Amino acid sequence: MSAAIPASKGIKERVGTWFGRGDIAAPADIESAALRSDRFRLEREADWRRLEDIVVAMEKGGTRKIADDDLLALPTLYRTAASSLSVARETSLDASTLNYLESLVQRAWFQVYGPRKGLFGWLREFFLGGWSRAVREIWLDVCIATFVMIAGTIVGWMLVAQDSDWFYRLVPGEMAGGRVPGASREVLMETIEVENSAGGLSIFAASLFSNNAGVCILAFALGFAFGIPSLLLLIHNMALLGAMLWLFASAGLGWEFGAWLSVHGTTEIFGIMLSGAAGLHIGRSMAFPGTRSILEAASESGRRSAIVMVGVVLMMVVAAILEAFPRQLVGGMENRYIIGGAFLAFWLVYFFLYRPQRVEEEA
C-alpha cells in the first residue's frame, strides 16, 4: 500500500515570503497560491500513485508480479514524475510535496536505470550464459584468430624443419631448457616425465598463471591498433609451439608431447585464442564501424570483449593449475589425453552449444 501523497502545508509562510518579501501576504494571495499547489498535485496525483505502486512492487519482488502494462508505462511515469519535480522546484511548491516527489523520483530512477544485480547476481548471469553469449557474438573474430594460430603453428614447424637455427630465434632459452635440436630422445623424454612429488608446484602454478595471463592481456590490449599486433602476437606464440612440435616429432615423441601438452594446452591455447579474438574484435570494429562513429563502435565492442576477457583470466587460472599439477603428476599418454580432451569438450560445449535464456528473461 503506497503512502498517501502529502497535502500542501506551510503555505502562509511560503507565500508571505514570495509576495511580501518577508511580510505576511494578503489572504487573497495566500488562497491563490494554495489553490495552485493543490491543483498541481491533484492533476498529477493518479500518475504519482501508479508510479509509487509499481516502484514498491519492484522493491519487494522484482518484476515477476507486475503487469505488462505497468512495466511498459514505467519509463513514461518516471519521466512525468521527474518533470513534476522540476516544475515543483521552479515554482517553489510546498516542502512536503517537494520532498515526496524527490523521494519518488530517486526510487523510480533506481528501478529504471540503476543496477539491479549484486555480485552474486552478476556472477550467475556471467556463468549461466553471459560469457558464452559474448564469445558467440565475436564468432567471426574467433574464426580469424583460430586460422591465424593454425597458420602460425605450421609456419613455426616449417621454419625449424628447414633450418634448426630458427628454433633458437623462436623459443626463448629459459623456456627451452634441455629441449633443443640435437638432444637425445631420452633427454627429451625426461622433460615430459611425471614428477616424483608436488613440492613447489604451487609456486610454479602462480608463475605460469602470471605468464599466461600476461600474454592474453597483451593480445587483447594490442587490439586497439586495428587488431594487427594481436594477430602478430598470436602468430609468434604459435610459431613457438610449432617449433616445439617439430622437435619432439623428429625424435619420435610427437604423440607423447601432444599428450603432455593437451592436459593444460586445450584450456590455455583456447584462452589465448579468445583473448586475441577479443582484441581483434575491437580493432575490426574501429576499422569498419559501419553507420556508427568510431568511438561508439569501440565502446560497444569493448564492453563485449571485456566480458570475454574476464572469462579468459579464469581460464588462465584453470590452465595454470592443470599445468602445475595434473600435467606434472599424471602419467600415461592415454590419461593425459583424456584430461585434455575432457576440458576441450567442456569449453566447446559451453561456448557453442550451451545457450540458456538470459537471466532477465527468466525473472
Domain boundaries, given as residue ranges, for the chain: 11-112, 120-362
pLDDT confidence of residue 181: 92
Residue 324 CB coordination number (10 Å): 23
Nearest residue to 223 (alpha-carbon basis) of 138, 347, 127, 290: 138
Question: 231-240, 319-328, 351-360: lowest mean pLDDT where?
Answer: 351-360
Nearest residue to 139 (alpha-carbon basis) of 289, 269, 304, 344: 304
Segment 263-292 mean pLDDT:
91
Segment 330-355 mean pLDDT:
92
- Per-residue DSSP letters for 144-180? HHHHHHHHHHHHHHHHHHH-THHHHHHS-HHHHTT--
Q: How far is CA 81 from the centre of its chain?
A: 34
* pLDDT classification of 360: cutoffs 50, 70, 90: very low
Q: What distance in Å separates the CA atoms of residue 299 and residue 304, rounded to the nearest whole number?
A: 9
* pLDDT classification of 116: cutoffs 50, 70, 90: low
Segment 296-312 mean pLDDT:
90
pLDDT confidence of residue 251: 94
* pLDDT classification of 13: cutoffs 50, 70, 90: very low
Q: Which residue has the higher pLDDT, 117 or 192?
A: 192
pLDDT confidence of residue 362: 42
Amino acid letter, residue 321: I
Grid cell of 131 as nine digits:
560469457
Q: Which residue has the higher pLDDT, 42 or 2?
A: 42
* pLDDT classification of 27: cutoffs 50, 70, 90: low
- Per-residue DSSP letters for 306-328? HHHHHHHHHHHHHHHHHHHTHHH
pLDDT confidence of residue 250: 95
pLDDT confidence of residue 216: 85
pLDDT confidence of residue 332: 86
pLDDT confidence of residue 278: 93
* pLDDT classification of 11: cutoffs 50, 70, 90: very low
pLDDT confidence of residue 93: 67
pLDDT confidence of residue 313: 87
What tens digit of pLDDT does each residue of 127-137 get? 888 999 999 99
182 φ, ψ (degrees, to nearest 5): 95, -15
Segment 303-312 mean pLDDT:
91
pLDDT confidence of residue 19: 41
Q: What distance in Å separates the CA atoms of residue 65 and residue 62, rounded to the nearest whole number?
A: 8
pLDDT confidence of residue 350: 95
pLDDT confidence of residue 143: 96
pLDDT confidence of residue 20: 42
Residue 36 CB coordination number (10 Å): 14
Residue 363, SS3? coil
Per-residue pLDDT for 76 more than 80? yes
Per-residue pLDDT for 335 more than 80? yes
Q: Which residue has the higher pLDDT, 346 or 121?
A: 346
Per-residue pLDDT for 195 more than 90? no
Q: Which residue has the higher pLDDT, 108 or 117?
A: 108
Most confident of the ranges 61-75, 164-178, 247-261: 247-261
pLDDT above 70 coverage of the chain, percent: 80
